[in-house]
Amino acid sequence: MEADITSQAVGLASNIDFSIIQLFIRADIVVKSVIAILIVSSIYSWAVIFEKIMLFKKINRSTQDFENKFWKSKSAESFYNTLPDNIRDPMANIFKNSMQMLLKSKRSSNLDEKMSRMLEINIEQQMEKIENGYTYLATIGSTAPFIGLFGTVWGIMNSFQSIAISRNTSLAIVAPGIAEALFATALGLLAAVPAVMAFNKFTSDSRKYSQKLESFSKKLLSII
């Protein structure tokens, strides 16, 4: 008798569609909301990741090109006069802003101190632009697993309620709700892991690039 009941329960459970789309359709409004939030968050997270990958490739290339041209020039002032108005490279912008201040304040007192402070401010401004979006990656990395866990807890709670209402503990009753619940956790991890890895990588890249800007600034101060 027990064997027949077990085989019937397994048969019913095997007939249930456990595809991702069906898991989402069968989920209640709370779990659906959790899944939707995690999917949207993951998509935006990947958009930020790809944008930062392209940004670092671009600025590393343009900065290297700028440094090569700068150190081959005859003087800082002559090189400044050859720069176009619409410069996007961070190091080139720092140099341009510094030269503008130098040419306007050649006779002012404490020029070295002012130039040093100006360079620090410019570096901070450029790094703020580069690091825009890091907070979002860190937030997703730290909160997405807990959002997924909330969906899991809610889904399992609904499964137990279904068991209590139907007074049936068969797989056909329990399995769908648990599968929906675990799907939310899986999505939370899927959103969080790439965000954390990308945040750590970009933070390291930013630190290295910031050091490069600081090194250039010190060299620039020594020659102007």
pLDDT digits over 62-75, tens only? 999 999 999 888 88
pTM over 0.85: no
| pLDDT higher than 60, residue 1 | no
Tell me the C-alpha distance between 163 and 224, whole Å: 79
Q: What is the mean pLDDT of the chain?
A: 84
Query: What local confidence, expressed as pLDDT, does residue 154 receive?
Result: 86
User: Which is nearest to 156 in space by CA: 136, 176, 134, 141?
Assistant: 176
Query: What local confidence, expressed as pLDDT, does residue 7 receive?
Result: 47
Confidence of residue 223 (pLDDT cuts 50, 70, 90): confident
Confidence of residue 41 (pLDDT cuts 50, 70, 90): very high
| pLDDT higher than 50, residue 6 | no
Query: What local confidence, expressed as pLDDT, does residue 56 receive?
Result: 96
- Domain extents for the chain? 27-223
Query: What local confidence, expressed as pLDDT, does residue 9 receive?
Result: 43
Kindly give, in sequence order, each residue whose CB lies less than 8 Å from that of residue 11, ignoring residues fewer than 6 positions away.
none
| pLDDT higher than 50, residue 166 | yes
